[in-house]
Amino acid sequence: MEGRDATAVAVGPVPSGTPDRREGLWDLTVAAASSKTFLTGAVILVFWVLMALFWGIVAPYDPQAVDPTASLAPPSGEHWFGTDNLGRDVLSRVLAGASSVLTVAPLGTALGMVGGIAVGLVTGYYRGLVDDVIMRVVDALLAFPLIIIAVLVLSVLGSSKVNVVLVIGVVFMPIVARTVRSSVLSEREREYVAAARLRGESGGYIMVSEILPNILSPIAVEATIRLGYAIFTSATLSFLSLGIQEPSPDWGLTISLGRVYLQAAPWVVVFPALALATLVVAVNLVADGLLQAVEE
Amino acid sequence: MSLRSVQRWRRGRGGTVGRFLLRRLWLSAITLVLVSVVVFAVAEVLPGDVGRTILGPFATNEQVERLNRELGLERPLVVRYAGWLGDFVRGEWGDSFLLNTPVRPLVVERAVNSVLLGAFALAFIVPVSIGLGVLAALYRDGFIDRAISVTGLSLIALPEFVVGVIVLVIFAVELGWFPVSSQVPSANPVDVVRQFFLPSIPLMLVLFGYIARMARAGTVEALASDYVRTAVLKGLSRWALIWRHVLRNALLPTISVVSVQVGYLFGGLVVVETLFNYPGIGKLLLDSAVGHDLPVLEATVLVVALLYMLSNLVADSLYAVLNPRIRVGR
């Protein structure tokens, strides 16, 4: 196997025991926290996470409470963001709407990351024919628009939260696998891997206990970038009415349903749109900050 | 992906335009085959009992079995796939379940509408993004540069429907400059802009960040090169320099990016056409998916894949023609 030759070359003074370049995720966060980009994004993101968890305490009204007398009321002191066609308070629905997107997107991301890391580690470490074939397939499929695949699959599987999580996870898996694989490819030539091999460690041990801790930084960056795309995708699928269903105050869904009242009551769609925009931009700022910290 | 393979190729042994295009054609063909397998799997295998789906819950089991046999569903999967693909290649796309009309004219008409809208967006945003990207590179690390890259970064992240809803509220509802839903325009240029401008904004904003970033990187690289230094020493004026030497080299990576982004453009069309109620292939895709209109759904996805492959091929040809390293084939 190719790997064995690399070991033979790297004989020389082999450092024993611990790897030489183990950067903790904590160091990365500390480095990133010094950048304004990262902090701005993190503050907004934390705000929405808090809303997703505790909207019940903050929201002025019950997001599902119908009030026929106040249908499509414009923003006022009573209803800061106005009301929708059923007289429900838009502000409360916007705050509560954070929870669905912040459940589906992180779960989909997590699924894609776990699967992608596993495939990336194995293909990157063992290389060979399987690696070639998998990467060819990944290249070809990545060329095709994600949303079209998602529409196709969800139309057959049916639209539900679980299916959106599955679709996002499965589509992300090859993308993550490719990033992880390229990190593994450069890591596996390092001396600490050679040392572990000479000690007679198994492939599984080397992948999980030696290589994985050393590629956590690029994995963290990839996870943040994926989270951004997952929010983008799950919101778009809700908007296309293939994701989360009524009566959830989900932002994408609310915008989709509120389009009918666009001319009479633009506030019904504008506020969820702005909320989604801030969340997506925040995640991208965090990703950008992390990326800069890794590169430095 | 496409960009990377182009770069890998550039670093390779070299060859001719023909060989380059052949290789790219081969990659597109693989994509097309894989997409068709996915469509076949999703549409023909996953739904389970097709006869039951068509005949509904009140048909007897014998009727369902007979229909399944007539449809050839008892044959092995590979044979069914070959037959299915063969029908599609021969142009026998079947009839729509929902509309009871032949699928082919419908899909072709909608595809043409979408290509018009997409072409309008591209024709608008490509020159603007390249211009701003070059500008950012010329004032590197200055205010303009940072403003352009920050805006570009934020705009990439925004889902198309968010941007779409906001421009609709501002320009169609509040200002009343544009219609709330877009139709296929007449040949009158004013009407073209009236119908297409708003729906293309979300598409343009997504593309802007990518193209501008690429144009900026290409320009920065070109400005640092030996041939530009030579031209400066020769006494060429600043604008002549940018026009003749820098722009041309900055264009190459930009073209590859545009060809990759065409895929996202088709994804964006699904959203934008739905939001603006425009009769394009993206809306048809969604409608047929929601309505479980399988013949239409299969045809739209395959046509989108085909269009995507064609646009990639056009971009690759342009790349090959403009790039002396491929054209000369050292």
The CA distance from B233 to the nearest CA of chain A, in Å, is 35
The average confidence (pLDDT) of chain A is: 83
Which tens digit of pLDDT belongs to each residue from A83-112? 888 888 888 898 998 899 999 999 999 999
* Residue B37 · residue B81 · CB < 8 Å: yes
Confidence of residue B50 (pLDDT cuts 50, 70, 90): low
Question: Scanning every residue of chain B, which has its alpha carbon at the shortest distance from the alpha carbon of A283?
Answer: B157
Contact A152 B43 (CB under 8 A): yes
- Pick from B34, B158, B304: which is nearest to A280 by CB? B158
In chain B, residues with a C-beta closer than 8 Å to the C-beta of A277 are: 158, 162
In chain B, residues with a C-beta closer than 8 Å to the C-beta of A274 are: 166
The CA distance from A67 to the nearest CA of chain B, in Å, is 25
In chain A, residues with a C-beta closer than 8 Å to the C-beta of B169 are: 262, 266, 269-270
Confidence of residue A4 (pLDDT cuts 50, 70, 90): very low
Q: Hey, what are A55's tokens?
A: 């909207």
Instruction: Tell me the CA distances in angstroms from A12 to A3, A17, A19, A197, one per residue in order.
Output: 17, 15, 16, 14
Looking at the complex, does the CB of residue B158 fall below 8 Å from at least one CB of chain A? yes
pTM: 0.80
Confidence of residue B207 (pLDDT cuts 50, 70, 90): confident
Question: A89 forms bridges with which residues in the sheet?
Answer: A83
DSSP annotation of A89 reads B
Contact B270 A270 (CB under 8 A): no
Which tens digit of pLDDT belongs to each residue from B277-316? 899 998 998 888 888 778 888 888 888 888 888 887 887 7
* Residue B160 · residue A236 · CB < 8 Å: yes
Of the listed ranges A280-284, B11-15, B104-108, the least confidently predicted one is B11-15
Question: What does the pLDDT read at residue A279?
Answer: 92
**What SS3 state is found at B164?**
helix
Give the whole-angstrom CA distance, residue B274 versus residue B272: 5
In chain B, residues with a C-beta closer than 8 Å to the C-beta of A270 are: 165-166, 169
Confidence of residue A116 (pLDDT cuts 50, 70, 90): very high
Whether residue A247 is preceded by a cis peptide bond, meaning omega within 30 degrees of 0, is yes
ipTM of this predicted structure: 0.77
Which tens digit of pLDDT belongs to each residue from A245-276? 888 889 989 988 888 888 888 888 899 999 99
Contact A262 B169 (CB under 8 A): yes
Instruction: Tell me the CA distances in angstroms from B285 to A29, A52, B113, B282, B305, one per residue in order.
Output: 43, 33, 13, 5, 12
Confidence of residue B45 (pLDDT cuts 50, 70, 90): low
B135 has pLDDT over 80? yes
* Residue A73 · residue A267 · CB < 8 Å: no
Distance of CA A221 to the CA centre of its chain: 10
The CA distance from A73 to the nearest CA of chain B, in Å, is 17
A22 has pLDDT over 80? no
